[in-house]
A and B are shown apart, each in its own frame.
Chain A
């Protein structure tokens, strides 16, 4: 054993030495800006588009530092890097990082990000206003841009809509679900025919919470439940007890299994990224129901998610930061490719309008519907307001603890108490009583 062990060790030593040697020697800064460009991200989505559509200037190495967003790992790593930014060597500095709607405020309203109008991103005439607003701090300084616009729609099964409502025409279906009372009535009809209205108890959460009239915490940092959030809880209680929905979470297998051909669910809610990336089961060749879908606004206008590119303070590559941002919001060809090839809804109104008006352009997944045309309409109603830096984990936590109530494992009081305890542990700054 000793021999084999020492053999393994010797091998490891050699390999480690080799690994050490393969590191490229420290580059000497030539020219004004850094040779290493660091991007922090939580997944590969933007990386894919970046590598396809952005031409990296010669001599610059792009480093992707990707950490999972689960349990706040991404934010933790990013925070540590940003807090140590001033002491980091030029090649280790964060240049660009990505952020999602639920926590973008944390980085925007902070010195960790810089004014992008000063580094060369000045033309926002084509972007959607809410995407700029989301990246603007309390003093009116713009810190970044979004490469996508994320109006969220009601995505429904055409065949089930025909069975329940007698039509699958988006306008007619929209008419039938245009407010919550109608939506609930249709849920009853669907149930009578043996269908579920939604596949997850939390399907409608974003539709309600995005229309909240007050943020999660007030000016004194007291936790508050908006009327819309309460309305979601009440409606979901009814939906569960009437059997209109399942009690599984949005990302659970049980919910995504409903996207197969033999699924019994009529409605899902989400933006373009949802059916492009998250409805893989529906797109499955053998078991899916590609083409049996369509979108309409649903009971309330709302948006969901979106990825912003933010400029880190202290970056040694400001020119390239600005160049990337401009490419993804103002380069017509790149934005067109995002819509055409990647089925994105871009953050360039002119490009989107071009596709919306193009009679040749349509989505085969949505049975030939021009989704860009629909999203152009929906995007007009997006409001980015009442957000806090705490939203992501408060939204997740509320859903997780209320799910136990909907499953019948706890009383509503117990569920709320568990949620409040969770808030105390997660955010000491929030006052809960």
Chain B
């Protein structure tokens, strides 16, 4: 990678307007299709606004009441939002950490001139396949596979691995494990391709000179590949984090919206969806969204900050 020389020719004033022109379509579309709806969301969070049957209740201005409700404990003393935030983080870590590590490993394998992996197109095509299946179809498939009368249980009993069927949907560990496994399968191929594209963008001569200087594969990875891959890796980690915080389809369909057991696989967006689906409770949903946004933004800034700082230090 060569350092851009843009600082050299800053003088060309006439080019500045092109920066604006090039970003206009994006912002026009964003303004109309996203920002306006989003502002409506924030505005909504200050109102009591829901549907009771066919009757609309509100909008009545209630100030921060929705936020207060969001953070007040229920009879058992637990605060729903915090619990679902915790669930989401656990589910994300369980799925994303192996996903990124495995993807990094595979990307290095595929791009290694030493290993010269055969049948690369085949492997690449196959590992990306799960990403093509609709989350709903994939979740449905997993639900049938792991149900009490499903093939996995039939196998477990036939093989004598356990005396009785394992009820995968009655235990926190197994439900979370299944969700993590599905997220891993659906996304590791995608991440591998992204990282591979990143590695292949690195100047090959850097690898060669590092090897000539006597660096082993591990040293090459940590001293050359990883630092130069940082921009793409930051992208991967942040998008994985955002995807994780917005996790919805897989747990929603796998648990049929219940987040069983004891709501330990209910994610923040499932919680949001609970307010939206029947009652169209835009007030509470708005409040959940705003808090969700603040949490996501905070975490992303933190991750972005630490990663870029580390890459600069390296």
Contacts and interface: CB of A to CB of B under 8 A. Distances in A.
B271 A106 contact: no
B81 to A, nearest CB: 11
Contacts, number: 92
A230 B260 CA distance: 22
Contacts of A433: 75
B261 A428 contact: no
Contacts of A400: 256, 258, 260
Interface string B59-88: 000000000000000111000100000000
A407 B144 contact: no
B260 A409 contact: yes
Interface string B142-170: 00100111100000000000000001001
B279 A428 contact: yes
A82 B74 CA distance: 36
Contacts of B277: 71-72, 76, 426
B45 to A, nearest CB: 14
B149 A257 contact: yes
Contacts of B53: 106, 110, 389
A420 B263 contact: no
B132 interface: no
Nearest to A106: B53
B54 A413 contact: no
Contacts of B274: 422, 425-426
Contact of A254 (B148, B172, B281): B148
B82 to A, nearest CB: 13
Interface residues of A, number: 39
Which secondary structure dominates chain A's binding surface? helix
Interface string A407-433: 111100110011011100111110001
B54 A409 contact: no
A65 B290 CA distance: 35
A259 to B, nearest CB: 12
Contacts of B304: none
A393 B279 CA distance: 11
Nearest to A392: B278
Contacts of B51: 79
Contact of B262 (A248, A414, A427): A414
Nearest to A408: B170
Contact of B279 (A409, A410, A426): A426
A429 B278 contact: no
B268 to A, nearest CB: 13
Interface in B184-222: none
B136 to A, nearest CB: 11
B275 interface: yes
Contacts of A426: 274, 277-279
A253 B74 contact: no
A83 interface: yes
A89 to B, nearest CB: 22
Contacts of B281: 425, 428
B260 A417 contact: no
B263 A429 contact: no
Contacts of B227: none
A102 to B, nearest CB: 13
B51 to A, nearest CB: 7
A373 interface: no
Given A83-B54, A428-B284, A404 B144 contact: no
B239 interface: no
Nearest to A249: B256
A253 B144 CA distance: 8
B170 A427 contact: no
A422 B275 CA distance: 9
Contacts of A408: 170
A270 to B, nearest CB: 20
Contact of B261 (A75, A107, A409, A427): A409
B257 interface: yes
Nearest to B165: A254
A253 B150 CA distance: 8
11 contacts: A71-B277, A72-B278, A76-B277, A83-B54, A107-B54, A110-B55, A254-B148, A254-B149, A401-B258, A410-B261, A417-B74
Given A400-B260, A409-B170, 7 more contacts: A247-B167, A410-B261, A417-B74, A420-B74, A425-B279, A428-B279, A428-B281
Interface of B: 50-55, 57, 74-76, 80, 144, 147-150, 167, 170-172, 256-258, 260-263, 271, 274-275, 277-279, 281, 284
